[in-house]
Structure 1
Amino acid sequence: MFREYFLVYLPSKQQKQIQSNSRYDNVKEVLMSNISKIRLNFILFLCQSIFDRFLTWFQKEEPLVHLLYNALCDLYRTVLLSFLSPEHVGSTYGGALLDIDFKLAEKQLTTKKLQIGEEARRLLVDVSASDRATFFHDVKSIYHAIADNLKKYLPLKNTFLKDLHVLDPASRTKQDSADTMIRVGRAIPKLLSNAEIDRIRYEFMMCAAETIDQSWYIKNKYHDSDDNNHTEYQQIDYYWNKTLSLTTSFGLPKYPTLSKIVKNILIISHGNLDAERGFSINEHIVTENRTLLSLSSINGLRSTWDAIKFYGVGSPHRISIKIDMIRAVQKSKSVYNQEQLSLKSLANREKEQSEKHEHTNGEMKKLIDRENQLLSKQKGLHDKQKKAQLLVDEGRQQLDNALKKADIIDAQAANALIGAGDEQVKLISDELFKITDELLKIQKTKSDPFGPIIALNFLNGPITISPLSDLKPSVSTYSKK
């Protein structure tokens, strides 16, 4: 297709566009090269022979997480066997595959045995020896890059993923399956209690001894045109749904603990295709002329889609119409109106709460602003109080010196200094009383009145304002000798 488009269609239909076009010249050179065609056929071989089967299988919607580990092992092993000698890979399986050194030169397959696909090998006959050597070097580099990437990201040493094969019906009679199921139960965090983990072995052994109808896990058996036998299996959730539906003679579930484990395992996605498929469905539902659909409407359409898929196998005409469905349709208008009233009431209530919240925030902001002003003023008064106290202390010292010298004039001056300082301290203390009282009221409004009233962290350290009953003005008193 590429060759026809670039080498036939463009030269005959769009000659002006390709004239002096370096990009076209590069594409033309690649397509006319035999080695490029061989490389493309090799890439096609990789996709069809190695990756297509794996990717196609795990695009299914059914739960496949219990088969994921073995499929990943087979994929990596297939890649290794495509360029390594079978003796080097041997019967290695599981996490041990990651320990194989695939870059050892002596373990590489020869060019004759290297897996490149029949078409690529057929085309190699017409190329030169140097081109052939370059091609095989590139092939080995590609294989090494693929193996290196798979080795880096494949969880082949994940014990939990490996143990999930125990959910397969064929594993229930294996000798170590009960221990495997116990490991799975322990690995799921906060799902089972210790008592439930202790019951896993008993329930699994009872399940293994159960007589299971073959139709629970085998869907169909048939012969193809070559008389080969084929077996089509049921989905794993179908099998476990049947098994976990069994009850005791008292009508109680036989396997309640296994039910918890199995249900929590089978909801694990084996890839991201389910999410991508959901996006595609939403894209079909929310078209360009339906962009105003509400979230509940979209969820309703998705529920309808899933119901048709589950009950009608994707066909609406296969769903039986029952009286409950007819009544639900008849009441849909009244239900819609009731929902609209509820939404309107909820919106009004949220609006009222929002307005109340905004009002409360405004009042709280005013309180905080006032509180900050008072705290700033309080800090300034504390500084003034310290200076006044220093003035009183200085006057006291001068008075002591004057009394020792019997200097009446200096004593009177010192006493006047002390009186002025005491008066200043008293005025500051009265102002602090008022500020403290207002701060107490603000704190009572803001928070718990029984806790600490307020604590500040100033440059000189934390200052705590105590209740009024404990606050005493630092007024200096002097007793004359």
Structure 2
Amino acid sequence: MVQDHYLNACSHILKKSALATSPFIKHCRCLHPKERTSTRSCNDILVLARDPPMDIAIDCPLDESRLLQVEKEKDSSKDGRIDSYWSQFFDMKSLSGNDKYPNVATVVKAVLSLSHGQFDVERGFSSSARTLTDDRAAMSEKTLDSYMMVKSAMQMYGNAPHLVPMTKDLLASARSSYSQAHLYAWACWARARGPGFQGAPGPD
């Protein structure tokens, strides 16, 4: 009984999901490495090229996809990323030195750039809510954006500041940020003194 319930529930979800109602999503299967050499991959790429509309001739990706089916892989993607897998074909050149699969590359890049869901957006809202607390209600949008940018960058290094490489570009950016923050603070102080106030920023 329990197994039948789960089977029926899964069947219902699939019927109501975008996988069943959207042909576009179904034809995205051609991006899987194992689908590249399948007979249906050419038609899948053709459907993806039509929706969303792209500034390419429809027959061009069809011809390129047929050639791509017999193309040998340079090497398998070691990191398992689908964009890394397809990049090896985008880098290939024809005998004339031009890109070998420019139209297929346009289609694949367009599809891979589509959002796969709202998770990242919702996570961003949650993170902003944790940052903009009641005692920080006066925080400006610019300050909040800066705070979120630093927080996101720190996550790339496991929130461990000592792991962040001290490059020349980073140090220059820090000095520039300090100068801008100093000028911004002085401008706010000058506005508080009232119109007509003249002065100069204090020493850095």
With normalisation by structure 2, the TM-score equals: 0.70
Q: 1:252 to 1:147 in 2, by over 3 A?
A: closer
CA contact under 8 A between 1:247 and 1:254: conserved in structure 2?
Answer: yes
* Counterpart residue identity of residue 293, structure 1: M
1:154 counterpart = 2:17: yes
* Equivalence for 2:113: 267
* Higher gyration radius (CA): 1
CA contact under 8 A between 2:15 and 2:21: conserved in structure 1?
Answer: no
Distance 1:170 1:147 in 2: 25
How far residue 172 of structure 1 moved from its aligned partner, in angstroms, is 0.9
Q: Classify the secondary structure of the residue corresponding to 1:201.
A: helix
Q: 1:291 to 1:323 in 2, by over 3 A?
A: same
Aligned mate of 1:297, from 136, 140, 143: 143
How far residue 200 of structure 1 moved from its aligned partner, in angstroms, is 1.0
Distance 2:21 2:50 in 1: 18
Q: 1:154 to 1:295 in 2, by over 3 A?
A: same
How far residue 330 of structure 1 moved from its aligned partner, in angstroms, is 1.2
Aligned mate of 1:168, from 26, 32, 50: 32
Q: Classify the secondary structure of the residue corresponding to 1:268.
A: coil
CA contact under 8 A between 1:185 and 1:261: conserved in structure 2?
Answer: yes
1:327 counterpart = 2:189: no
Q: 1:166 to 1:281 in 2, by over 3 A?
A: same
How far residue 298 of structure 1 moved from its aligned partner, in angstroms, is 2.2
Matched pairs, number: 186
Residue segments in structure 1 that go unaligned for 5+ positions in a row: 1-113, 118-138, 220-233, 344-481
Q: Classify the secondary structure of the residue corresponding to 1:174.
A: coil
Residue segments in structure 2 that go unaligned for 5+ positions in a row: 189-204
Aligned mate of 1:318, from 141, 156, 163: 163
Question: What's the % identity of the aligned pairs?
Answer: 24
After superposition, residues 269-288 of structure 1 pair within 5 angstroms as 269-288=115-134
After superposition, residues 159-198 of structure 1 pair within 5 angstroms as 159-189=23-53, 191-193=54-56, 195=57, 197-198=58-59
How far residue 211 of structure 1 moved from its aligned partner, in angstroms, is 2.3
Q: 1:330 to 1:271 in 2, by over 3 A?
A: closer
Distance 1:172 1:283 in 2: 43
Q: 1:174 to 1:147 in 2, by over 3 A?
A: closer
Q: Classify the secondary structure of the residue corresponding to 1:331.
A: helix
Q: Classify the secondary structure of the residue corresponding to 1:170.
A: helix
How far residue 329 of structure 1 moved from its aligned partner, in angstroms, is 0.8
The root-mean-square deviation of aligned C-alpha atoms, in Å, is: 3.5
Distance 1:211 1:186 in 2: 27
1:200 counterpart = 2:61: yes
